[in-house]
Amino acid sequence: MKERTEPDFIQFRPGDVVEGVLVSVQRIMVQGKPAVRYTVDGGGKLYAFLGTYQLNTKLRPSDVGHWVAVRYEGEDTNVKRGENSMRIFTVAVSDELATPEFAAQSDDIPF
């Protein structure tokens, strides 16, 4: 038996990349507000990150089981909501499932 631990939580800095198989898309609450959490299996190591407007548009529940690459490019200071600038991501998703065992469970999240 192996102990299961939480995925490493990623707080993106410009240039950071997360690559691997998207294994889950979950609705969670963060500081009393709804959010979407993505979990990626990067070769046996799990990584999790929260959705942003762009990520929630570019990554879909139907992408679970596909290879993904998410790169944080930085902020667009011309687009702001309050004090926060829009975060810019490049997202690539494979056309095919990685392998059948990655056709995993995902919360039913309608967008």
Q: Helix/strand/coil (H, E, C) string of 37-94? A: EEEEECCCCEEEEECCHHHHHHCCHHHCCEEEEEEEEEEEEEEEECCEEEEEEEEEEE
Residue-wise pLDDT tens digits, 2-36:
888 899 999 999 999 999 999 999 999 999 999 99
Q: Tell me what pLDDT residue 4 has.
A: 82
Q: Tell me what pLDDT residue 111 has.
A: 41
Q: What is the pTM of this model?
A: 0.83
Is residue 104 in a domain? no
Is residue 14 in a domain? yes
Q: Tell me what pLDDT residue 81 has.
A: 83
Is residue 51 in a domain? yes
Is residue 109 in a domain? no
| DSSP H or E run through 99 | none
Q: What is the CATH number of the domain that holds 50?
A: 2.40.50
Is residue 33 in a domain? yes
Is residue 28 in a domain? yes
3-state secondary structure of 107: coil
Domain count of the fold of the chain: 1
Domain housing 14: 8-99
How far apart CA 35 and CA 92 sit, in angstroms, is: 21
